[in-house]
């Protein structure tokens, strides 16, 4: 498997609401840049994601579009995500190939389901246990939406939270990802009814079969999936039936592949002295920051 092109993350002081707002003075909330894309995928870009500081504390919300524009990502806009790895009773991993209609990373192969908890009460959490539960509920919602897997087939209690990864990766010149991604494992035999607007193809693979797929230059894989595979996936997979407990409920965030924040970002954080704010900007809602580092702002 080719090495990832992303770079190691550098920790920075957590930003206040005002600091982030000043990073995005000209946020584009129009449909510009979406012309020619699939209408349903354009509609989904209005979904509201959870905006985070570097320590996974929610500090506001922004549309899916704003969170995935590289101009915003390169300034530090970070949001919450989840990645589901679903295994059948033969311990084969279910992969999906993203639909051609997808605006970001179209036609790429990836893990079972990758998406975002939304800024709704059932999927948002301000502490880790609540955030994990929110990610699991979001996973149920999206497994149904993308693959037709009903929540009864993937009950909340069967999901196992392993860790969080922080990474940054471009899709093309306009779109990309910058996420803290909750890694969820589940073992279940499920019925598949893929939504062809979301999923082009599916495939169950063993660990060895997946390694062979990575050798095929004709196949393209999402950057987060490659990062997870290059770090821990195969070790986790080996322990799926016995010993996985030692890898679950990790408290620290793994900084697997994200570019360092810009110098401008650091300067703005250092200049700001008013962390307890309620600020609003079209398409970006920021609540007062009270997380680690706020006393220094």
pLDDT tens-digit series, residues 186-195: 999 999 999 9
pLDDT tens-digit series, residues 103-136: 788 999 999 999 999 999 999 988 999 999 999 9
In-domain check, residue 106: yes
In-domain check, residue 281: no
Contact call for residues 125 and 110 (beta carbons, < 8 A): no
| Torsional sign, CA 217, 5, 35, 41 | positive
Contact call for residues 111 and 145 (beta carbons, < 8 A): no
Contact call for residues 61 and 165 (beta carbons, < 8 A): no
* Tokens 């997870």, residue located: 228
Distances (CA, A) of 181 to 6, 14, 21, 184, 201: 15, 18, 23, 9, 23
Query: What pLDDT is recorded for position 133?
Result: 98
Closest CA to 273 of 292, 296, 254, 250: 296
In-domain check, residue 9: no
Kindly tell me if the per-residue pLDDT of 293 is higher than 50: no
Which has more confidence, 31 or 83?
83
Kindly tell me if the per-residue pLDDT of 182 is higher than 50: yes
* Percent of the chain predicted with pLDDT > 90: 57
When pLDDT is averaged across residues 25-37 and rounded to a whole number, the result is 61
**Residue 134 tokens, joined:** 């929110």
In-domain check, residue 172: yes
> How many domains is the chain partitioned into structurally?
1
In-domain check, residue 270: no
What is the pLDDT confidence band of residue 286, given thresholds at 50, 70 and 90?
A: very low
pLDDT tens-digit series, residues 257-281: 643 333 222 222 223 332 222 333 4
pTM listed for this prediction: 0.80
Say which range, 144-148, 160-164, 255-259, has the weakest mean pLDDT.
255-259
When pLDDT is averaged across residues 5-23 and rounded to a whole number, the result is 47
pLDDT tens-digit series, residues 200-222: 999 999 999 999 999 999 999 99
List 61's β-bridge partners, or say none: 50, 285
In-domain check, residue 275: no
Q: Which of 114, 146, 198, 229 is catalytic?
A: 114
Q: Which of 18, 146, 177, 179 is catalytic?
A: 179
d(CA 28, CA 246): 44
In-domain check, residue 269: no
Query: What pLDDT is recorded for position 257?
Result: 61
Query: What pLDDT is recorded for position 273?
Result: 31
What is the pLDDT confidence band of residue 234, given thresholds at 50, 70 and 90?
A: very high
Q: Is 17 exposed, middle or buried (0-12, 13-18, 19+ CB in 10 A)?
A: buried
In-domain check, residue 155: yes
CATH code where residue 170 lies: 3.90.79.10
Contact call for residues 12 and 78 (beta carbons, < 8 A): no
**Residue 283 tokens, joined:** 């398409």
- Mean pLDDT, the chain, integer: 80
Q: Catalytic: 179?
A: yes
* Residue-number span of the structural domain to which 90 is assigned: 17-28+35-255
List 95's β-bridge partners, or say none: 203
The DSSP letter of residue 15 is: P
């Amino acid at each position: 498997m080719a090495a990832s092109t992303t770079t190691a993350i550098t920790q920075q002081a957590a930003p206040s609401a005002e600091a982030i707002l000043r990073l995005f003075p000209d946020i584009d909330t129009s449909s510009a840049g979406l012309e020619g894309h699939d209408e349903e995928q354009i509609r989904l870009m209005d979904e509201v994601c959870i905006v985070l500081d570097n320590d996974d504390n929610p500090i506001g919300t922004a549309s899916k579009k704003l969170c995935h524009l590289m101009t915003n990502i390169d300034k530090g806009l970070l949001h919450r995500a989840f990645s589901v790895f679903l295994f059948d009773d033969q311990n084969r991993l279910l992969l999906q190939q993203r639909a051609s209609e997808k605006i970001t990373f179209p036609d790429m192969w990836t893990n079972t389901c990758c998406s975002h908890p939304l800024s709704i009460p059932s999927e948002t959490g301000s502490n880790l246990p609540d955030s994990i539960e929110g990610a699991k509920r979001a996973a149920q919602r999206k497994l149904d939406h993308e693959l037709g897997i009903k929540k009864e087939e993937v009950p909340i209690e069967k999901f196992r939270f392993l860790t969080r990864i922080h990474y940054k990766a471009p899709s093309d010149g306009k779109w990309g990802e910058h996420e803290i991604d909750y890694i969820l494992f589940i073992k279940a035999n499920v019925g598949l009814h893929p939504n062809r607007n979301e999923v082009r193809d599916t495939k169950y693979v063993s660990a060895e079969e997946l390694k062979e797929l990575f050798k095929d230059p004709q196949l393209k894989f999402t950057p987060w999936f490659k990062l997870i595979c290059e770090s821990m996936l195969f070790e986790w997979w080996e322990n799926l039936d016995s010993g996985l407990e030692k890898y679950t409920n990790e408290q620290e965030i793994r900084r697997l592949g994200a570019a360092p924040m810009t110098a401008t970002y650091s300067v703005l954080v250092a200049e700001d002295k008013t962390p307890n704010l309620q600020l609003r900007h079209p398409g970006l809602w920021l609540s007062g920051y009270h997380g680690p580092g706020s006393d220094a702002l």
